Amino acid sequence: MHVTTADKRATFRKMHESGCFILPNPVDVGSAKALQHLGFKAIASSSAGFAWTIGKADNHVTVEDVCQHLAALSSAVDIPVNADFEGGFAVEPDKVADNVERGVRTGVAGLSIEDSTGDKDKPLYDRVLAVERIKASRKAIGDSGTLLVGRCEAYLWGVTDLKLVIDRLTTYADAGADCLYAPGLKSREDIAAVVKAVAPKPFNLLIGGSGLSLQEAQDLGVRRISVGGSLARAAWGGFMRAAKEMAEKGTFTELGGGYPGGELNKMFG
């Protein structure tokens, strides 16, 4: 049975109403299909994971690159796809809105917008501009049913000010964000404080260095968990260990740890 984009978006919204789910991050169509095969109910793109597959650094891909990638993921699986849409690939709210419209047309069920500038001396957009960017994204999404995720990147840029994060996330929620996300939070106390502040809207946790399990995150009130570029780094870890061994030692023992080709053919057959 063909699952429509509208079906995926409705399913995704329903998933955010209660409980806690893992939203793993594939890097391409094959890994997206593998995650669906393993039983995950939704997936999210990874800006870093995708960038590395085309030989680019994170945050160095174009909106054209990303929209092609999102369209490929969305059409390859029957489960919802949440787009890591970075900062909307523009600064001005109207241009962010134009790009968000393009992103929505790829068939994604959710889309996130970040507030980081990429400038380490002034890492976050001015609060007023950041809010206008969320409002513009909300308007661009319109009645498509796509979920808007508002992200505060403060902790990833060394701005470890929990009050600032909470102020921004609650303001993004008021501006139309359906789900809130502050990657970099690690302590149970900080996570619980943010969950409480944005409630009843759902909070996305980047599992990162928190060390929490799915159950522990759920107990704190987290609604969904993503892993960012971690799956991509894990895959690259195996690849680089095997390649370095061949290049530096002329031996091949690391190749023995690969996933069986027959199992992969069975999964994709």
pLDDT (0 to 100) of residue 210? 87
pLDDT (0 to 100) of residue 209? 80
Residue 1 reports pLDDT greater than 70:
no
The predicted-structure confidence for 138-152, as pLDDT tens digits, reads as follows: 999 999 999 999 999
The predicted-structure confidence for 93-107, as pLDDT tens digits, reads as follows: 999 999 999 999 999
The region of weakest confidence among 167-176, 205-214, 238-247 is 205-214
What is the residue whose two structure tokens read 């893992």? 22
Q: Average pLDDT, stretch 175-191?
A: 97
Q: What is the pTM of this model?
A: 0.97
The predicted-structure confidence for 39-79, as pLDDT tens digits, reads as follows: 999 999 999 999 999 999 999 999 999 999 999 999 999 99
